[in-house]
Structure 1
Amino acid sequence: MTELDATDRAILAALRRDGGLNAKEVGDAIGLSQPAAYRRIKRLEEEGVITGRSLIVDRAALGFEVVVFLGVKLAVRGRASMADFERAVVAIPEVQLVQHVLGVYDYRLKVVARDLADFERILRRRIMTLPGVGDIESNVLLSDEL
């Protein structure tokens, strides 16, 4: 386990807000020189604290106005059925997130669609035909700006 001091935590906070910041920008944001910020960021990467940076795409700008979270319960449980389901579900481009969970459902999916008609098409033609799918519960996202 890596011990983090206040400066390390400030670096991580700055990079969580904007993963695209370079060492100079991180240093400026937290009151550190560029070389010192670079060394600390590099150390955090080498120690596995920072494992990568991600790109955030505005789904609405691409025409995806609807987000639906699905709870999926497999009809048959077992390693083979889970592997078949996982292999097939990750191949669906509208499925943005696949989580194997414990509870009523076996999986939680985040699906994006252009509109409700598009979501219905994705649900009927792609998700409901996946190997092993049993029960599905849909929850349409109303707001994520709270």
Structure 2
Amino acid sequence: MNDLDDTDFAILRLLAEDAGQGAGAIGRACGLSQPAAWRRIKRLREVGVIRSQRLRLDAEKLGFGVTVFLGVKLATKGRVSLEDFERAVSAIPEVQTVEHVLGLYDYRLRVVARDLPDFERVLRRRIMTLPGAGEVEANVLLSEERRPGPIG
């Protein structure tokens, strides 16, 4: 969509910072009335620029003190379909994201666990038993700074 203006980008930056803001607050920040801001947000949703709003939970406060990024290389690409692997891995509650990637590994997973022994249990009993799971590399998250990404 190439017809976004500076106000649209300002709205997107505000929503990326806090998607729970109402149209009134967005309008005040952008110099618009509440109805005008609401119409712009609605249009951005309708054309697909805004795909969804998500609730971001603090995993540590929920008892999940360890986050691990796993690189997973499928052992037998010809015998197991990517869809079968994706369906099976997506059913594991501790797996927060599944990304099919290009590079050394076929998939990148974000996995949360209560602690390292809990992660080891998830790895051994759930992830390593997935259809086609082969080589795995784990990187433990030490800290994270979230940035919304480039917007206009």
- Range class of TM-score, shorter chain: over 0.9
> How far apart, in 1, do the equivalents of 2:111 and 2:82 lie?
19
**Unmatched 5+ residue regions in structure 2?**
147-152
1:120-135 matches, cutoff 5 A? 120-135=120-135
Report percent identity of matched pairs. Answer: 67
Q: What displacement does 1:80 show?
A: 4.0
For residues 36-64 of structure 1, give each alpha carbon's deviation from its aligned partner in whole angstroms, at most 9, with x where no partner exists.
10111111111111111111111111000
> How far apart, in 2, do the equivalents of 1:134 and 1:46 lie?
41
Root-mean-square deviation (CA, aligned residues, Å) is: 1.4
1:16-31 matches, cutoff 5 A? 16-31=16-31
Tell whether the 8 Å contact from 2:11 to 2:26 is kept in structure 1 after alignment: yes
Counterpart of 2:144 in structure 1: which amino acid?
Answer: D
Tell whether the 8 Å contact from 1:2 to 1:47 is kept in structure 2 after alignment: no
Q: What displacement does 1:68 show?
A: 0.2
Counterpart of 1:52 in structure 2: which amino acid?
Answer: S
Structure 1 outlier segments of 4+, above 6 Å: none
1:35-114 matches, cutoff 5 A? 35-78=35-78, 80-114=80-114
**Unmatched 5+ residue regions in structure 1?**
none
Q: What displacement does 1:110 show?
A: 0.2
Partner of 1:138 in structure 2? 138
For residues 80-122 of structure 1, give each alpha carbon's deviation from its aligned partner in whole angstroms, at most 9, with x where no partner exists.
4322211110000000000000111000000000000100000
Q: What displacement does 1:23 show?
A: 0.6
Query: Which structure shows the higher helix fraction?
Result: 1
Corresponding residue SS for 1:62? coil
